[in-house]
Amino acid sequence: MKTHLDREFIERKLQAIALYIRRLHVVLESSDADIRDDFFKLHTLERLIQLIVDEIVDINTHVIRYGDFSVPDDFQSSFLVLAEGGVFPRDFAERIAPTVGLRNRLVHRYEAIDPILLIRMARAESGDFREYAEYILRLFSFYGENQNP
């Protein structure tokens, strides 16, 4: 059983996030109206958001499992648990945490999502996804490869 953060696991997840963000930016080069009216662009955008959030949730779960953190109530609150542990600033955690709810609405189709609102959220969140990766990378410089946060 591992008793520390698995650097390779996290780096693989961060590489996947970086790839998905690059692909997201390709879609976001188009206008909002063009994305809305193009079935493939709109659904590619949805899928990329889902994939990014899935990778982020995997990282959060791993860091919490192998660190000295309280157990979150759900995936969305995992951001707040990590903020309490000093991984992120609280305002950042509060800003990015709702992406889990967005992901769930996209995947499970709980409700219809306004495509223009989704596109605007994707434009705003793409920077947060990059910032997330930077905070996670700092874990290794602060704690070293073989230590728990």
| pLDDT tens sequence across 126-139 | 899 999 999 999 88
Report the pLDDT value the prediction gives residue 3, as an integer from 0 to 100: 58
Burial class (CB in 10 A: 0-12, 13-18, 19+), 56: buried
In this predicted structure, the answer to whether residue 147 has a pLDDT above a threshold of 60 is no
With a cut of 80, say whether residue 16 has pLDDT above it: yes
Q: What is the mean pLDDT of the chain?
A: 88
Helix axes 99-108, 39-66, angle to 10 degrees: 130
Report which of residues 47 and 109 the model is more confident about: 47
Distance from C-alpha of 56 to C-alpha of 79, rounded to nearest angstrom: 10
Q: Residue 111 pLDDT more than 80?
A: no
> For 18-76, what is each residue's pLDDT tens digit?
999 999 999 999 999 999 999 999 999 999 999 999 999 999 999 999 888 988 888 88
**Closest-CA residue to 17 (of 43, 45, 54):** 54
Q: What's the topology of domain 7-143?
A: Four Helix Bundle (Hemerythrin (Met), subunit A) (1.20.120)
Between the alpha carbon of residue 129 and those of residues 16, 111, 125, the distances in Å are 12, 24, 6
Q: Quote the pTM value.
A: 0.87
Give tens-digit pLDDT for 112-126: 788 998 999 899 888
Q: How far apart are CA 36 and CA 71, in angstroms?
A: 39
